[in-house]
Structure 1
Amino acid sequence: MPVRPIRLKLIASLLAVLPLYSLASEWSYSGNNAPDHWAMLDTSGSFATCAKGTAQSPIDIPRASTTHINAASASLNINYQRSPLNLVNNGHSIQANVAGDSNLQFQGKTYKLLQFHFHSPSEHLFNGKRFPMEMHWVNQAPDGSLLVVAAMIESGKNNAQLEHIWSKMLPQKKGTHVAISQAQAPDLSMILPSASKHFFYKGSLTTPPCTEGVQWVLFEQPLQLSADQIGAFQHIFADNHRPAAAINQREIDED
């Protein structure tokens, strides 16, 4: 049965203001509520895909076996900008809900940027290499489909675009919200790695309910944050990554 347009609009509205991964039971990254137990935490079965899914994320990208395609990068057009943010510590990450019209186009479909957030250490690996952090930009099309842009983060230069958030506004306690004006917000177009190749694959959300059918676009070139900036995030979230899942013969493309 097709999903009614009204319902799609309601879902989009909810996703714009709520973390994509905090819509059900309590879960965490350690102890009895760690990733290995996510599927058992919701008695309704809505987390079952976390254990039974065959196209889960994150994964370890095996660079040697990726398929090289020229069309993927040509079909990717990212139009991110400086927009007001609602920064929140949701208990699982620092997430910035994005206002405004930041969007991207991929393979003829337009996706609106809903939010970005961070993981430490990185969730994806490149040839077995894990990075200190990873940044995700979560985007949604009018039909409800999701596309997540990801960039690994390595220790290096101070990230000037994120410095204002990092130095004054990182919410330390769960449930804390901080409103950031457009003037104070980072220019998201300046954060994206320049002249980077990409990996493309179909996967899932990396947090419950682990929904599959998510298009992933990973920048090969990492971002840089200073050691102090990385340490400031890790002081709040020492470990909020999901271990890598099996690839299960999925195609991974590289432009």
Structure 2
Amino acid sequence: MLKKPTAVISSLTMPWVALLEGMAFSPEAFSEDRERWSYSGKRGPAYWATLDDDFASCGQGKNQSPINLTQLLDGELPEIELHYPTQGDKVINNGHTVQVNFPSGNILRMEGQAFELKQFHFHSPSENTINGQSFPLEAHFVHADKRGNLAVVGVMFEQGAANEGLQPAWNQLPLHAGGQETLDVPIDATKLMPSSLEYYRFNGSLTTPPCTEGVRWLVLKEPVSISKEQVEAFQRAIPFDNNRPVQPVNARVIVQ
């Protein structure tokens, strides 16, 4: 169990988002999703809202993610607890990112609520920035409660020593869109977490279409290490920048 201090959570509800940023994976969904949007050109982020009526929030939403975390408000932040006893067993290249899927049983607890870890995936360079600073890689740990409310934990990676926690997935990294592997060595999500779980808190959205809002965002303050070679391996699997540009903060408050 990880139990460490961390931000103020408002009670938000939202409908179940079927893909949870690509959680569900099938050849049919993969093919259709690849055709609907991308990170560049006429299907890139600037055009997402025009590609499908379901993507309207990408252009009309007022609480969109990612953001630049700045002008932070100090607050008394409740703890989060991570109970991650089960291990990730599948790594997938869905054409937009690389993600690791998890069986049931991994729980994030915050303010008396339980959110189950569904998957984590990566963006390079980072989508969120901290006081304007970008990082070579950011992981998003996507959790959902029983009603479909989402909580995403963001972890920043800074270049340094190799990350041993990542290596089981990197050893079998699918290099082509549509590839998936069952991991020989399951991955332990706790090994990707920094020593401190202090975080920044804000209300946001999915960072990919349909850009649905009502997502609890918890971006951990302390980055973890990743080697230059590991970043380059990810970039071979996803050979383009897969980060949505930062969005206006508008009236939101970012608590630390």
- Aligned with residue 111 of structure 2, among 98, 102, 107: 107
> Per-residue deviation at 1:41?
1.1
Query: Shift of the alpha carbon at 1:14?
Result: 11
Q: Name the structure 2 match of 1:46.
A: 54
Which of 178, 182, 193 aligns to 1:179? It is 182
What does residue 44 of structure 2 align with? 34
**Match of residue 88 from structure 1:** 92
Q: Which residue of 1 aligns with 2:67?
A: 59
Q: d(CA) in 2 for partners of 1:112 and 1:59?
A: 24
Q: Sort the Cα spacing of 1:225 and 1:149 in 2 relative to 1 into closer, same or farther, 3 A.
A: same
Deviations 1:231-254 (A, max 9, x none): 111122231000000000201111
Corresponding residue to 1:142 among 133, 142, 146: 146
Contact 2:86–2:105 (CA under 8 A) maintained in structure 1: no
2:154 is paired with a residue of what secondary structure?
strand
Counterpart in the other structure of 1:253:
255
**Corresponding residue SS for 1:200:** strand
Gaps of 5+ in 2: 1-14
Residues 85, 106 of structure 2: 8 Å contact kept:
yes
3-state SS of 1:239 partner: coil
RMSD: 2.4
CA-to-aligned-CA distance 1:75-100 (integer Å, 9 cap, x gap) = x1111234142211100000111113
Secondary structure at the aligned position of 2:55 is classed as coil
Superposed displacement of residue 16, structure 1 = 5.1
TM-score, normalised by the number of residues in structure 2:
0.86
* Candidates 50, 63, 76, aligned match of 1:70: 76
State the alpha-carbon separation in 1 of the partners of residues 25 and 160 from structure 2.
Answer: 32
Aligned partner of 2:124 among 105, 120, 126: 120
**1:60-118 alpha-carbon deviations (Å, 9 max, x no partner):** 000xx22222233x2x1111234142211100000111113111011211000001000
Distance 2:215 2:88 in 1: 26
Q: Give, in whole Å, the separation in 2 of the partners of 1:14 and 1:60.
A: 20
Alignment of 1:193-204 (within 5 A): 193-204=194-205
Instruction: Give secondary structure in 2 for the equivalent of 1:229.
Output: helix
Contact map agreement 1:50 1:209 (CA 8 A) in 2: yes
Q: Identify, as 1 or 2, the structure richer in helix.
A: 1
Contact 2:117/2:143 (<8 A) preserved: yes
2:165 corresponds to 1:161: yes
Write out per-residue CA displacement over residues 164-188 of structure 1, whole angstroms, 9 at most, x where no aligned residue.
221x21001111110125xx12221
Report if aligned partners of 2:162, 2:226 keep a CA contact under 8 Å in 1.
Answer: yes
Inter-CA distance 124–94: structure 2 relative to 1 (3 Å threshold): same
Contact 1:17 1:97 in 2 (8 A): no
CA, structure 1 residues 233+135, in 2 after alignment: closer, same or farther (shift >3 Å)? same
2:237 counterpart of 1:236:
yes
* TM, length-normalised to structure 1: 0.86
Matched letter for residue 230 of structure 2: Q
Per the alignment, in what secondary structure is the counterpart of residue 151 of structure 2?
A: strand
Deviation at 1:130, TM superposition (A): 0.6
User: Following the alignment from structure 1 to structure 2, what is the Cα–Cα distance between the partners of residues 187 and 95?
Assistant: 14
Shift of 1:17: 3.0
Structure-1 separation of matches of 2:82 and 2:129:
23
SS in 1 for 2:54: coil
Q: Identity over the aligned pairs, expressed in percent? A: 36
Q: Identify the residue that residue 4 of structure 1 maps to in structure 2.
A: none
Helix, strand or coil at the partner of 1:32: helix
